[in-house]
Amino acid sequence: MKGARRQSGRRDRSPSTAPGAPAAGRKDGECSNYGLVDGADRPWTVLTDRVRQVNARLEAVHARPDPRRLRPAPCAAGDGLEMG
């Protein structure tokens, strides 16, 4: 878990590049073309606009109650699991 936190912290400081990836790309010509921004740190607007739309819909989906979600079992009095 510590490693995951450390790695995500590194990515937070530099979200548009992978660790060790040069900003201008690799010298062997590989261009994966993924991410939310291009090599000049400009957003890919077609992608970012779509991400924004999907995220707004997901916010609404997650706000609705879902009967398929597991509900915690009620605690029996005296079992030491009561809240409060």
Judge whether 70 lies within some domain.
Answer: no
> C-alpha angle 48/53/56, rounded to 5°?
120
pTM score of the predicted model:
0.41
> What is the predicted pLDDT for the residue at 31?
64
Judge whether 7 lies within some domain.
Answer: no
User: How high is the mean pLDDT in each 10-residue block of the chain (84 residues)?
Assistant: 59 55 66 76 91 91 79 66 58
Give the chain's count of helices (H) and strands (E).
2, 0
The domain tally of the chain equals: 1
Contact 1, 16 (CB under 8 A): no
Domain of 57, in residue numbers = 37-64
